[in-house]
Amino acid sequence: MTTAATNNNGIVGEYVFMPTSDIQPTVLTSIDQIMKLLNENRASSARTSKSMEIITGRVTTLESSLTDSNNKVTTLEGKLKESCEKVQALASELKITKENVEKLEADLKTSNDAVESLTTTNQLNRKRIDDLIKENEKLEKEKNQLQTDVNGLNQQLTSKESTQEPILDQAQRENSHGELPDEIEELRKTNERLQTEIKQLKEQIEQLKNKKDDEQTSTNNFNKTEDNASAPIPQNSEKDKQIKDLEDENNQLNERIKKEAELLFQLRKKARQLHEGPCLDVNKYIVGGSTAAMFVAGGPALGFAVIVGGPTLVISWLVDQLPVRVK
């Protein structure tokens, strides 16, 4: 006969009621041990179920964290791709900038050569002007000497004219009395000779005056050229014309030198700006199954590497706030 019953441990089961005399003591002991083990297994199973619930919750949390990590990795890969594109664009811009710098350096060298050439030409023109100034001073001295000679000749002419008149008067008076005809004839010859000499002296004086006027005109024009480069040049003074031409050429050279110097300054300023601006040096970038990128910019340097391989996720992020410049 069987019936449902609850043992001392509260476990429900079916028990077979047999006469105690029919059951061996060892069998009873084994049954008690089996029931005890069964109860322990049931308690352990309950604990295991609770642990499984906890583990399942942790697994769910880990799966959520893994999903978030994968999303972050995807976002980082997008940013990494965008950064690589920016690096490539900056590398292209750097190449263009380098070509522009080389072109500017070539233009700068050409301008320097032109300035040196113009400076040399200007120095030569200055030397020619100094030589002409010295020659003009020499002509000024000659003019003064000619003026002195003219004054002396004028004095001689005045002296001879004053001497001639008394001699003629005396000859006329003596001739009116019929005396000394031979001396009168001699005086006439002397008078003719003096007249001839006076005429020659007057011609010489006129020539000297003309020469003095020419030299004075040349000096005045040269002085005007020194004060005003646009002064008219007399056609009868070749040296003044040369001086005027040299002055005009010198002024033109000075203007060209000024313009070349301004251009040289602008070129140097532009080259300095290009050299001192942000510098970019692309060390390395690789795009593949595992992604790694490194770049250095002129501002705060940023470097990061991302490696993805199966279930292993490693993210290394480095931000260096110190400015880095690689030339």
How many Å apart are CA 28 and CA 30, to the nearest integer? 5
pLDDT confidence of residue 247: 66
Q: In which band, very low, low, confident or very high, does the pLDDT at 45 lie, cut at 50, 70 and 90?
A: confident
178 and 38 in a single domain? The answer is no
290 and 266 in a single domain? The answer is no
How many Å apart are CA 13 and CA 39, to the nearest integer? 11
How many Å apart are CA 18 and CA 260, to the nearest integer? 129
**In a domain? residue 284:** yes
- Write the CB contacts of 282 (distance below 8 Å, at least 6 apart in sequence): 87, 90, 91, 295, 296
pLDDT confidence of residue 279: 42
The pTM for the full model equals 0.29
We report the CATH number of the domain holding residue 195 as: 1.10.287
**In a domain? residue 76:** no
What digits encode the pLDDT tens for the residues 289-302? 333 333 333 333 33
**In a domain? residue 84:** no
Q: Which of 50, 67, 84 is the last residue of a domain?
A: 67
**Domain residues for 314?**
279-327
What digits encode the pLDDT tens for the residues 25-37? 676 677 778 888 8
> Count of domains in the chain?
3
Q: Which alpha helices (H) appear in the chain, and where do they start and end?
A: 25-176, 181-227, 238-276
Q: What is the mean pLDDT of the chain?
A: 66
259 and 171 in a single domain? The answer is yes
What are the structure tokens assigned to 146, written together?
């000619």
44 and 182 in a single domain? The answer is no
pLDDT confidence of residue 118: 87
Q: What percent of the chain has pLDDT over 70?
A: 42
161 and 264 in a single domain? The answer is yes
